[in-house]
């Protein structure tokens, strides 16, 4: 069909507003030809480009094998809509299939080593959890940005939506500012440092860990949580760890670590680090977040739950959290821009409390499997909770729930402080 002379300019303009420019050259040539043939609108070009990018990331073969054959040389509007509709249907069918991760293999992704930048920030303060929402049951965690940006390359990472250029920022005045941070001695605080970076991967670079340890020692009413996917505990082993400093590990099956959590410590190294610290008397915790649905997930997660119960006593563990993949649209766009081999978007995304996530039956299957895998002693003596999930799921998973975020927060703090007080008594003895 002869092309109107203005479409080339229109295509170049609308392509800048879609993932088209991030596709490999071959896919760009194919889609450019299709776009000119069918005169794609902005939304149509965005849809086709997103599907092409997903197929590349999922390693599902050539884009052309999913593009329906044209029944006639005409390129009318109805035919265009049918073609894109069939493409979307094939893409949707793939998303409904369980992810498959070949055991013994791993995605070899080159992780760009970040540059450490010393840059003074403004006033240091306590923030709110960046994913808190009135539509989900939230523990009201307070956040402390000790470091900005993460050096790992997890395919589902939301931190990478906030920072760019592979730069990690350290405030040279962090220790001094932390010393002057106002803390009410009559109030119990729960503060996490793992929301804008991994809490342990940097060790004591720029004196960050020394400052945090001193902060926990000065404020016994603060529960300071260091969340990590690292095995870097060497500096902590040189210190007397305050009872109110809790190190928590995000855990996933080894096959997920190999394929989706690039650059992080292996599952075995994470568990060994946690066991070593617990053996030194420190309180630890575990986040099964995000739990990921894939072929063989039940057995893979069961093995981790068994290892945790064999290697740790409930008295050593403050908490076990459960959660799963939850996305905002900007995070999904950023994942597609990165374009690394990953199946992390190969799931039937549904609207979930203002974000996008698994269908509710899938969530319930994941969470119930985890909860029932733990012995009653763990269920009774360790604080279990759902992170970033709607309150309607709680009773269906645990058999109990909380009336409000404040009630959830109070129960969590009381449970943690009971463990902390017991740890202090042991140390004093």
Q: What is the pLDDT of residue 112?
A: 64
Q: What is the pLDDT of residue 188?
A: 97
Among the four given CATH numbers 3.90.1150.10, 3.40.50.20, 3.20.10.10, 3.80.30.30, the one describing domain 115-428: 3.80.30.30
* Candidate from 77-91, 233-247, 312-326 with smallest mean pLDDT: 77-91
- Domain positions in the chain are 7-96, 115-428
Dist. CA 316–CA 412, nearest whole Å: 16
Q: Residue 284, Cβ neighbours under 10 Å: how many?
A: 20
Tell which phi-psi region holds residue 339, choosing left (phi > 0), alpha (psi between -120 and 50) or beta.
Answer: left
Q: How confident is the model at residue 71 (pLDDT cuts 50, 70, 90)?
A: low
Q: What is the pLDDT of residue 275?
A: 98
Dist. CA 251–CA 233, nearest whole Å: 16
**174: pLDDT strictly greater than 90:** yes
pLDDT digits (tens, 9 = 90+) for 386-412: 998 999 999 999 999 999 999 999 999
**12: pLDDT strictly greater than 60:** yes
**186: pLDDT strictly greater than 70:** yes
Residue entry with tokens 């202090």: 424
Q: How confident is the model at residue 135 (pLDDT cuts 50, 70, 90)?
A: confident
pLDDT digits (tens, 9 = 90+) for 318-375: 999 999 999 988 899 989 988 889 999 999 999 988 889 999 999 999 999 999 999 9
| DSSP count for the chain of H helices, then E strands | 15, 16
pTM of the complete model: 0.92
Dist. CA 240–CA 216, nearest whole Å: 11
Mean pLDDT of 270-297: 97
């Amino acid at each position: 069909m002869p092309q109107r002379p203005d479409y080339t300019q229109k295509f170049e303009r609308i392509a800048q507003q879609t993932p088209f420019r991030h596709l490999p050259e071959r896919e760009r040539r194919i889609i450019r030809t299709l776009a000119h043939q069918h005169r794609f609108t902005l939304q149509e070009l965005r849809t086709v480009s997103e599907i092409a990018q997903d197929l590349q990331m999922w390693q599902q073969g050539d884009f052309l094998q999913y593009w329906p054959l044209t029944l006639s040389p005409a390129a009318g509007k109805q035919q265009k809509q049918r073609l894109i509709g069939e493409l979307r249907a094939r893409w949707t069918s793939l998303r409904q299939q369980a992810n498959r991760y070949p055991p013994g293999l791993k995605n070899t992704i080159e992780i760009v080593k970040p540059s450490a930048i010393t840059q003074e920030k403004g006033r240091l303060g306590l923030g709110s959890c960046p994913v808190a929402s009135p539509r989900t049951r939230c523990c009201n965690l307070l956040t402390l940005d000790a470091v900005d940006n993460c050096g790992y390359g997890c395919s589902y990472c939301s931190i990478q939506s906030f920072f760019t250029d592979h730069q990690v920022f350290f405030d040279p005045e962090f220790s001094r500012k932390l010393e002057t941070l106002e803390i009410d001695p009559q109030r119990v605080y729960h503060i996490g440092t793992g929301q804008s970076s991994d809490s342990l991967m940097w060790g004591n670079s720029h004196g960050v860990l020394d400052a945090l340890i001193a902060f926990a020692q000065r404020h016994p009413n603060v529960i300071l949580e260091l969340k990590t996917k690292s095995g870097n505990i060497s500096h902590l082993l040189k210190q007397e760890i305050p009872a109110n400093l809790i190190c928590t590990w995000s855990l996933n099956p080894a096959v997920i670590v190999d394929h989706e959590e690039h650059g992080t410590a292996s599952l075995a190294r994470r568990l060994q680090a946690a066991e070593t610290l617990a053996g030194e008397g420190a309180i630890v915790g575990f986040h099964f977040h995000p739990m990921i649905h894939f072929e063989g997930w039940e057995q893979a997660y069961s093995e981790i739950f068994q290892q945790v119960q064999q290697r740790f006593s409930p008295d050593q563990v403050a908490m076990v959290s459960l959660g799963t993949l939850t996305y905002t649209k900007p995070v999904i766009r950023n994942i597609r821009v990165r374009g690394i081999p990953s199946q992390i978007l190969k799931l039937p995304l549904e609207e979930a409390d203002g974000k996008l996530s698994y269908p509710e039956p899938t969530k319930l299957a994941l969470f119930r499997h985890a909860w029932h895998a733990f012995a009653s002693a763990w269920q009774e003596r360790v604080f279990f909770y759902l992170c970033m999930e709607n309150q309607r799921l709680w009773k269906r998973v645990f058999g109990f729930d909380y009336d409000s975020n404040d009630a959830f927060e109070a129960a969590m703090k009381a449970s943690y402080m009971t463990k902390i007080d017991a740890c202090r008594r042991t140390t004093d003895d």
